[in-house]
Structure 1
Amino acid sequence: MSFAPWIKYLPGPHERRRTAATVIFPHAGASAAYYRPFAAALSAAADTFTVQYPQRAERLHEPAPQTVHDLARGLFEAGPWSSAAPLRLFGHSMGAIVAFEFARIAEQNNVAVQKLWVSAGPVPSHIAGLPELPTGDEELLADLADLGGTDPRLLADQEFAALLTNAARCDYQALNRYSCDATVRIRADIHAVAGRQDHRVDAASLRRWANHTEGRFTLSFFEGGHFYLNEHVDTLASRVLADVC
């Protein structure tokens, strides 16, 4: 079995001893292409995969998953992840939840997860208690503009905005249906990371990720907002590869 063509693979330097492969899980509305610079930085030292969600790019016409768990299950079933294990998972924003669910499924199937990096992501057991994310076109665009990370000129382009809102709506709907019990834990260590000026997450909420691991929990910050990672691509990649907190 080979990986689905929509899983973007960048091989690491195979002349070295193989280390844990990194799997990137994008934020809501994003395509795998958004994370190309980060994936390239990670692949300098290890195999790197970036997953593509339905309803965008080459998966544009695939049906949207009903739940985050369905999304994670589809991503897990899209390739022989045991052949790339151990895995290092990195999810940003909503991608942190998708990566968490992917980790649960991987561990249930005896695929080793070395570490889960949750970047600016809401805590699984607290999502059901949060206000629902918007799904109307205007509200969605306003929410995406508030988050940052997308060039305002692109948001003003009707064709691009239509594609973006459709993808984000599908992701938001799946997240609105999500719930996770406070007792659910993975075996892998969890490291939470975010921007110091992120108005969507804070240190107190990020520390609650500690409740979802049986392993070690660590936390760190970079300067910047919700999309801090765009300003710290190389440094963040180096820390992930070295598992430096």
Structure 2
Amino acid sequence: MKTVASPWIRNFQPAPDAPAQLVCLPHAGGSAAFYLPMARALTPGVDVLAIQYPGRQDRRREGFVPSVQQMAELIAREIRPLLDQPTALFGHSMGAAIGFELAALLEADGADLLGLFVSGRRAPSAMRDEAVHRLADRELIEELKRLGGTDPTTFDDDELVQMFLPVVRADYRAIETYRHRGGPALRCPIVVLTGDADPHVTRAEAEAWAKHTTGGFELVSFRGGHFYLLDHAGQVIGVLSERLSGALATR
């Protein structure tokens, strides 16, 4: 039986006998708990391991990780001992970029991943100059409200907001200063999930993920904005289940 004992990993719905595991990486300002509904929906067919970044919730006393690449390197250390089970990665927004860098590190070690699911994020080769992390607190809050994905009542609690904003700002700094360093394309397939009205991802920027893999590419579009997956949870779960089952069947 697999034992997961790491401050980085939350195994909300353990499914040790599942044929595959899915490592889930949160968005900027997000936590592992964002993937609790996904874990419940995919169990028992998939064992979901949600990553908890430092600097938030029970890890709030730990320092923020300053870059996407460093975050991927730290997560890789925790994930490598668990790769005896077929593994795929899922990341939303900032988590997609971390997932891409994590996949590259794991494949460099010889891992044979089932796939990489990237959500709400343009390809590493489709860069934009953004500086949301430099906004004043009030402007940053307005940006978060515009994107959705955060419980609106959060912004009514000043104490909670003051705890929350440093996390968001640090994560935005990490993703907005991220630059892909190049390297070989991934061997595993990439499935891109995107909202058709996401202000942070155009269709061309989503399609650009195709050049980052030799293992197959698919783009799945949903109606909605940056957090489309909250409104289409059942469909997203369906895509994950079907693609993972298909990948396992070809093994």
Q: Distance in 2 between matches of 1:186 and 1:116?
A: 9
How many Å separate the matches in 2 of 1:182 and 1:78? Answer: 24
Q: AA paired with 1:21?
A: Q
Q: Structure 1, residues 166-220: CA drift from partner, whole Å, max 9, x if none?
A: 1111111112321114665211110111122223212111000111112111101
Per-residue deviation, 1:54:
1.1
Residue by residue over 1:7-38, the C-alpha shift from the partner in whole angstroms, topping out at 9 and shown as x without a partner, is: 11132272xxx422101111000111122112
Percent of residue pairs bearing the same amino acid type: 35
**Contact 1:19/1:46 (<8 A) preserved:** yes
Alignment of 1:36-185 (within 5 A): 36-127=36-127, 129-135=128-134, 136-181=136-181, 184-185=184-185
Q: Matched residue of 1:220: which SS?
A: strand
1:11 to 11, 14, 28: 14
Superposed, 1:168-207 pairs within 5 Å as: 168-181=168-181, 184-207=184-207
Letter aligned with residue 129 of structure 2: L
Shift in CA distance, 84/234, structure 1 to aligned 2, threshold 3 Å: farther
Q: Whole-Å Cα distance in 2 between the matches of residues 141 and 67 of structure 1? A: 22
> TM-score scaled by structure 1?
0.90
SS at match of 1:199: coil
**Structure 1 residue 218 and structure 2 residue 218: aligned?**
yes
TM-score by length of 2: 0.88
Query: For the Cα contact (< 8 Å) 2:133–2:170, is it kept in 1?
Result: no
Segments of 5+ residues of structure 2 without an aligned counterpart are: 247-251
Distance 2:210 2:176 in 1: 22
Q: Secondary structure at the match of 2:27?
A: coil
Name which of structure 1's ranges 36-45 and 210-219 shifts more when overlaid on structure 2: 36-45
> For 2:28, what is the secondary structure of its paired residue?
coil
Deviations 1:91-149 (A, max 9, x none): 0011100110110111112222111111011221233x422333342232122111111
The CA RMSD measured in Å over matched residues stands at: 2.1
On the 8 A contact 1:82/1:111 being kept in 2, the answer is no
Q: Structure 1 regions of 5+ residues with no counterpart?
A: none
Aligned length: 241
